[in-house]
Amino acid sequence: MKKVELTTPADLLNKLKLHLGIKRSYELANFIGVKPNTLSSWIMRDSIPYHHILGICIKHDIDLNDLFLDNYPKNKPDEHQVQVPILYINNYWDYYFDPTFKNTALLPSASFPANVDFDIIIQITTESKIELKSKLLFTFCKRVDPINLTIGENYILIIKDRGFVYTKVVALNLATDVVKLEVDGSKVILVNTKNILETFLCKGFFKDR
């Protein structure tokens, strides 16, 4: 059987242009929301931030296997890819209250190259102070232990009696196991790490424009 190869960044961007009906690279850059020279740097570094691509694929129903893999055998598992679960806002309730829903195999998923540094994608809303409206974000997250919380990093935490909280860690008190969190851009809350049920480090974002 022919070995499945990962698509190069240059080929991936060309495939994306074909799927979207875009002819020129600067048009693709505008569509993604980056500068044209950013696409060139992705190609030169042989690396693409996947969070820039996933939301476009979901929104436009683009097959991620076709985009990220060459000669992909349809409907067959492959060692070069991993299924990353996607937790949408309308699944929060089930994930929080239904123990069986902790099995992420029940969640919708997308295929990515096996070397990605995130293991779940969580949809959140954030408030835009400039536009005075909510924005939907897909956050590319990695599960971590609460004891590894780091000041200045962004997280999605599942907190007892609060549910899902998108936050930034601003201070830690190791003596009392209390963490100071910034939410909604300005509000500060104190939470004991014993009440943090799950911790997801935010590795990247995609804004659904």
All domains in the chain, ordered by first residue: 1-78 (1.10.260), 80-209 (2.10.109)
Cβ-Cβ contacts under 8 Å for 178 (sequence gap 6 or more): 172, 190, 191, 192, 193
pTM given for the model? 0.63
- The pLDDT value recorded for residue 131 is 57
Which carries the bigger pLDDT value, residue 69 or residue 95? 95
Alpha carbon distances (Å) from 30 to 36, 137, 182: 8, 19, 32
Structure tokens that stand for 139 in this block: 């956050």
Amino acid at 161: D
CB 152 within 8 A of CB 169: yes
Phi-psi region of 33 (alpha: psi -120 to 50; beta: other; left: phi over 0): left
What value does the mean pLDDT take over residues 146-175?
93
- The pLDDT value recorded for residue 104 is 67
Nearest to 20 by CA among 10, 31, 34, 33: 31
Please write the tens of the pLDDT for every residue from 96-142: 887 766 666 667 778 788 888 899 999 888 766 655 566 778 899 99
Confidence of residue 208 (pLDDT cuts 50, 70, 90): low
Q: How far apart are CA 159 and CA 131, in angstroms?
A: 29
Which carries the bigger pLDDT value, residue 41 or residue 186? 41
Q: How far apart are CA 148 and CA 97, in angstroms?
A: 25
Most confidently predicted of 56-60, 92-96, 163-167, 173-177: 163-167
| Poorest-pLDDT segment among 82-91, 100-109, 163-172, 198-207 | 100-109
- The pLDDT value recorded for residue 1 is 40
Q: How far apart are CA 54 and CA 62, in angstroms?
A: 9
Is 34 strand, coil or helix? Answer: coil
